[in-house]
């Protein structure tokens, strides 16, 4: 199976944990693996080389810190270099509106890249978060129903779209949109241009022509992250003909090729401004190099988790989860989910320490003997060796079953017992937290 960059780097640094000092041999070994991982994750060769050189420079010169493990130190250095390459600490993720309204935002990209969806997502975001009055117009007169598609998305997002007049040219539609924008007092006019399956001269001429006529303050190129290196090539081609001011990278949710983000910034020079993280209209995030680096590395990021929790944890969902937990229905599958999540977020200690209300749980886990990250992997192995029925009802675990599970997971009966105990305590705590606790937690996150 294809390893994602984050899985890959995670595995490399696993081996560095617990070593007393950062030896050059380790650094070299890690960097060799980082390089392979980067190439596999579709980072362009020159970009990967440049990256490795930067990391090596920093790693060799770095003094060994006492407070962190060598593995953590390497992770930190790789992380910082990733942040630099993705655009530095100060991301230019905002859009510019410094013009007489309406500010024109032109969306360009290949067909299927997610251009129309991204147009509606950005319009919704500007309307909701920045209180801008937005008008959208589709200039795609070639693909049947393209204009209707945007109108439907507009309805879903509650964003106005320019009424469709059959037979108009893209230039005419663009002029009409800007005129309507002026008359209607709109802050922003978003132009969704036509796409093609591949770049051709006619498309480029049309886009350059519209660009010249409408003078957009932002020209956003939409690329599909899943196409990896091709996305980077596409970006280079578009940049030759129109001055792209930013990139929207879609389908980051299927993140097998997160490396494209790295290449994109390095090869085109245009900042990534937004990332698409799903099909729904609110599945758009401002691009943050630090967050992206964390995601690529699998170090997790609390900001993203908390934001998501406050935005998406709607009342109904919270209620449902709370009811299950209040009834003590926190089974081994739930626990396995927690472990998976925690490992993604940078380990047990990190997540339990940072989440509001979770300090208590950490204490309980510590009392149950503690869980370091290696143990978490063992614990996950134990859970996956249990049968479906055992996972649903851990009380089924008798001596014979424990022996079988221990053998199956390459652990010991003691370890199986320890996990069962930890689960029992967590389930009890969940039960005690009950409905109020869960709601309280959601409220804390939202606040
Ligand atoms: P266009 O031809 O470039 O205008 O592409 P569309 O906007 O019609 O999008 C093509 C498909 O990709 C649609 O099914 C979208 O729902 C989907 N899509 C767009 N952005 C994302 C994203 O960020 N994540 C996922 N998973 N799907 C996306």
Q: What is the CATH number of the domain that holds 161?
A: 3.40.50.300
Residue 342 clears pLDDT 60, i.e. is over it = no
Q: Answer yes or no: are the C-beta atoms of 83 and 301 closer than 8 Å.
A: no
* Range of weakest confidence among 139-153, 181-195, 347-361: 347-361
Whole-number Å distance, alpha carbon 224 to ligand 1 midpoint, is 9
Q: What is the pLDDT of residues 227-244, one digit of tens each?
A: 877 888 888 888 888 889
pLDDT of residue 424: 85
Q: What is the CATH number of the domain that holds 339?
A: 1.10.260.30
Do the domain assignments include residue 50?
yes
Q: Say if residue 130 is in the same domain as residue 275.
A: yes
Residue 442 clears pLDDT 50, i.e. is over it = no
Q: Say if residue 120 is in the same domain as residue 267.
A: yes
pLDDT of residue 19: 53
Q: What is the pLDDT of residues 131-161, one digit of tens each?
A: 999 999 999 998 879 999 999 999 999 999 9
Q: Say if residue 191 is in the same domain as residue 251.
A: yes
Do the domain assignments include residue 96?
no
Which tokens go with 30?
């890690």
Q: Say if residue 245 is in the same domain as residue 115.
A: yes
- Which residues line the annotated binding site for GTP? 109-116, 192-196, 250-253
pLDDT of residue 127: 95
Q: Say if residue 67 is in the same domain as residue 152.
A: no
Do the domain assignments include residue 166?
yes
- Which of 58, 85, 112 terminates a domain? The answer is 85
Three-class secondary structure assignment of 23-69: CHHHHHHHHHHHHHHHHHCCCCHHHHHHHHHHHHHHHHHCCCCCCCC
Q: Say if residue 27 is in the same domain as residue 136.
A: no
Q: Say if residue 108 is in the same domain as residue 210.
A: yes
Q: Say if residue 51 is in the same domain as residue 107.
A: no
Higher pLDDT, 426 or 172: 172
Question: What's 162's DSSP letter?
Answer: P
User: Quick one: which atom of ligand 1 is closest to the CA of 115?
Assistant: 3
Give the CA-trace dihedral at 346, 348, 350, 354, to 10 degrees: 130
Do the domain assignments include residue 301?
no
Q: What is the pLDDT of residues 256-282, one digit of tens each?
A: 556 778 878 776 778 899 999 899 999
Q: What is the CATH number of the domain that holds 14?
A: 1.20.120.140
Structure confidence at residue 353 as a pLDDT band (50, 70, 90) = very low
Do the domain assignments include residue 62?
yes
Q: What is the mean pLDDT of the chain?
A: 77
114 within ligand 1 shell (Cβ under 6 A): yes
Which tokens go with 363?
């204490």
Q: What is the pLDDT of residues 36-79, one digit of tens each?
A: 777 776 777 888 888 888 888 877 656 555 545 555 566 677 77
Q: What is the pLDDT of residues 81-102, one digit of tens each?
A: 888 888 776 555 578 887 788 9
Structure confidence at residue 128 as a pLDDT band (50, 70, 90) = very high
Do the domain assignments include residue 93?
no
116 within ligand 1 shell (Cβ under 6 A): yes
Do the domain assignments include residue 300?
no
Do the domain assignments include residue 306?
no
CA distance 371 to 373: 6
Q: Say if residue 117 is in the same domain as residue 223.
A: yes
Higher pLDDT, 58 or 173: 173
Percent of the chain whose predicted confidence (pLDDT) is above 70: 68
Question: What's 256's DSSP letter?
Answer: G
250 within ligand 1 shell (Cβ under 6 A): yes
Task: State how far the alpha carbon of 181 is from the alpha carbons of 133, 160, 207, 342, 395, in Å.
Answer: 9, 11, 20, 48, 65
Nearest to 323 by CA among 335, 312, 315, 311: 315
Among 106, 107, 114, 152, residue to substitute to test ligand 1 (most atoms within 8 Å of Cβ): 114
Q: What are phi and psi of 334, to 5 degrees?
A: -60, -40
Q: Say if residue 121 is in the same domain as residue 209.
A: yes
Complex ipTM: 0.98
pLDDT of residue 334: 73
* Range of weakest confidence among 20-24, 152-156, 356-360: 356-360
Q: Say if residue 231 is in the same domain as residue 356.
A: no
Q: What is the pLDDT of residues 290-338, one digit of tens each?
A: 777 766 665 444 333 333 433 443 344 445 555 666 666 777 877 776 6
Residue 22 clears pLDDT 80, i.e. is over it = no
Number of domains present in the structure of the chain: 3
CA distance 430 to 328: 7
Residue 351 clears pLDDT 50, i.e. is over it = no
Higher pLDDT, 49 or 14: 49
279 within ligand 1 shell (Cβ under 6 A): yes
Whole-number Å distance, alpha carbon 186 to ligand 1 midpoint, is 26
Structure confidence at residue 20 as a pLDDT band (50, 70, 90) = low
Q: Say if residue 16 is in the same domain as residue 76.
A: yes
- Which of 265, 293, 321 terminates a domain? The answer is 293
CA distance 286 to 270: 15
Domain that holds residue 30: 5-85
223 within ligand 1 shell (Cβ under 6 A): no
- Which of 293, 327, 360 terminates a domain? The answer is 293
pLDDT of residue 35: 80
């Amino acid at each position: 199976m294809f390893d994602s960059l984050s899985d890959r780097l995670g595995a490399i640094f696993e081996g560095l944990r617990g070593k007393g000092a950062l030896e050059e041999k380790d650094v070299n070994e890690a960097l060799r693996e980082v390089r392979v991982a980067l190439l596999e994750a579709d980072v362009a060769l020159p970009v990967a080389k440049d990256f490795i050189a930067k990391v090596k420079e920093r790693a060799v010169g770095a003094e060994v810190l006492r407070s962190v493990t060598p593995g953590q130190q390497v992770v930190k250095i790789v992380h910082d270099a990733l942040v630099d390459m993705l655009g530095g600490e100060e991301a230019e993720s905002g859009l510019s509106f410094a013009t007489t309204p309406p500010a024109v935002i032109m969306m360009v990209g290949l067909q299927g890249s997610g251009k129309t969806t991204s147009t509606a997502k950005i319009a919704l975001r500007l309307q909701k978060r920045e209180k801008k009055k937005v008008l959208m117009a589709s200039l795609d007169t070639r693909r049947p129903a393209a204009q209707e598609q945007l109108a439907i998305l507009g309805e879903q997002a509650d964003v106005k779209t320019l009424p469709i007049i059959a037979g108009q040219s893209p230039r005419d539609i663009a002029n009409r949109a800007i005129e309507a924008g002026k008359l209607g007092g709109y802050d922003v006019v978003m132009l969704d241009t036509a796409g093609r399956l591949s770049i051709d001269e006619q498309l480029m001429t049309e886009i350059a022509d519209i660009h010249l006529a409408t003078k957009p303050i932002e020209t956003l190129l939409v690329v599909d992250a899943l196409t990896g290196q091709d996305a980077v090539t596409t970006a280079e081609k578009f940049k030759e003909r129109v001055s792209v001011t930013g990139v929207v990278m879609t389908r980051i949710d299927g993140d097998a090729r997160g490396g494209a983000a790295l290449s994109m910034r390095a090869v085109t020079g245009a900042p990534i401004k937004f990332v698409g993280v799903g099909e729904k209209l609110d599945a758009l995030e401002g691009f943050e190099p630090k967050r992206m680096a964390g995601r690529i590395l699998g170090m997790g990021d609390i900001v993203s988790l908390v934001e998501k929790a406050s935005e998406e944890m709607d009342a109904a969902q919270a209620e449902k989860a709370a009811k299950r937990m209040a009834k003590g229905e926190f089974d081994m599958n739930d626990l396995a989910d927690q472990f998976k999540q925690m490992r993604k977020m940078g380990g047990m200690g990190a997540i339990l320490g940072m989440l509001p209300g979770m300090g208590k749980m950490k204490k309980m886990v510590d009392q149950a003997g503690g869980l370091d990250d290696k143990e978490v992997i063992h614990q996950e192995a134990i859970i996956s060796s249990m049968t479906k029925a055992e996972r649903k009802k851990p009380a089924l675990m008798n001596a014979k079953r424990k022996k079988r599970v221990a053998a199956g997971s390459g652990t010991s009966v003691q370890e199986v017992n320890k996990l069962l105990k930890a689960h029992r305590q967590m389930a009890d705590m969940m039960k005690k937290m009950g409905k109020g606790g869960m709601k309280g937690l959601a409220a804390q996150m939202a606040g």
